[in-house]
Amino acid sequence: MLTSFLESFLSQYGLLSFLIFYLLLNINLYDKVHENYLWSFVNKYISEIKSIVIIGLPIFGSQTSYMLMGVTDTIVAGRANTTDLAALAIGNSIFNPLWFALSGVLFAVTPIVAQLFGAKKFNQIEDKVRQILWMALMVGLALSLILINIGPIIKLLPIDLEVSVITSEYLRAIAIGAVFMGLFTCLRCFSEGMTLTLPVFYVAFTGMLINIPLDIILVNGLFGFPKLGGVGCGYATSLIAIFQTIAISILIMKSKLYKDVRIFKSITLPKLETFKEVFKLGIPIGFGIFIELSMFSGAALIISALGVGVIASHTIAINITSVFFMLPLAFGLATATRVGNLIGEQRLLDAEFSTRSSLLLCFVIAIITTITIYTFREFLVSLYTNDAQVIALGVSLLLYAAIFQIPDGVQMSAVGSLRGFKDTFVPMILILISYWIIALPAGFVMTYGIIGPKLGAAGMWIGMILGLSVFCLLGILRLKKVVGANLKTSVTL
């Protein structure tokens, strides 16, 4: 029954994919009716995609480095002790939503700087970034205070006492570097807004490499250091945050790449006007990320009653999906910078073309990853486990994970383009509707067969695919509206 349902779902979803593709390529062929113009147009697409890729590949490297730091923590802590690994997992499930909820406002730095950089308003960049650094400092202090005092709340959770103690100590260790995390995020977004993504990659990659021996030394107590277990990963994380902040600060001060914008040459006190601008753009970004994280957390909770094997299979499928999502995520973030730069230069037609190029790029990448996951699904699952039952269920869930790639990849491009236009509030509302009102309720209903057949974990995945697809379509329609409004305004002016 599940197989026939899957075949029916795939055939219907094919129509939805075609609709997405039609929206991506719904281009006015005003000057391409002749063959010579068509070839010129193809070259223009290639050129614009190349611009996005140049910005995006270092971002991909940076994002991969951040992910690998987490992988290192998990491996080192897991080899030390199962209890430490459990504490680390719980600690990260608490830290990540807190971090993105608070630091989301700092992600507004990228579109703000991108537009000013495109307009060559270097003095304004210096002024605004100096002010936002004060905000980054406050974000870091707020996060640090929460992490230091969260212990009593963790003790109320239905977990083993030893695990709760280690979790609390782990979060206290991270609290040491929280201020530097805020500052580094601000400086990273500033650099990326100026299209200087390669220096950020160098810093992130170096931090990832240093994190490996730090984890091993602090967790296992080598070279005279005390044996800290999983808590050592928290201290390593803080030390890496301190290193990365110092490293990127030195680059910004010394490198000729930043010669036009010297943000450290003086101190600017914060102004209410700048804070309002950052909050207006950043709070929706942070809350949108929180909504997305909560969808995946909610999905795990919904299927948790189905047994350990189902949870393990679901976790493997989510992990594989997350790895493949790194590339469209990087290009989506790159699009925010590219579009912002073009808007700052008053090249709105080129900004529109950039959004279309990004959508097409991410769509093609999504198709490739869909085929890759579908083709190698058995091999991918076998990398995580030897349990035959978990492998069988994991392989079946990867069929849905393959489909998942299309709306997930394209929506990231649409979101990036909208950020470039400084449009963040409406996308947050669309995310809320798509994930909380459609994805989670639909997944719950299909998982337990409240209406229709009981599909188990597959039902939850179908619900998430539906939610993502709705957001993908709404996001593209919103982008078309925002682009159209901006072009109309430019013509009027």
Q: Tell me the chain's radius of gyration from C-alpha atoms.
A: 23
Read off the DSSP letter of residue 35.
Answer: H
pLDDT at 306: 82
pTM, entire model: 0.86
pLDDT at 26: 53
User: Are 10 and 403 contacting, i.e. CB atoms less than 8 angstroms apart?
Assistant: yes
pLDDT at 16: 52
Mean pLDDT by 10-residue block, N- to C-terminus, for the chain (493 residues)?
A: 48 50 48 53 83 93 90 82 80 84 89 93 93 94 94 81 88 95 95 94 96 93 89 94 96 92 88 90 89 84 80 82 88 93 92 91 90 90 82 89 89 93 94 94 91 86 93 92 82 51
The identity of residue 485, as a single letter, is: A
pLDDT at 429: 95
Helix (H, G, I), strand (E, B) or coil at 205: helix
Q: Which of 19, 119, 42, 38 is nearest to 357 (CA)?
A: 42
Query: What does the domain layout of the chain look like in residue ranges?
Result: 1-30+281-493, 57-270
pLDDT at 46: 85
pLDDT at 431: 94
The pair phi, psi for residue 376, each rounded to 5°, is -110, 25
pLDDT at 170: 93
Between the alpha carbon of residue 250 and those of residues 180, 205, 260, 472, the distances in Å are 14, 16, 15, 40
Sequence-ordered alpha helix ranges (H) in 149-176: 151-155, 161-175
pLDDT at 19: 52
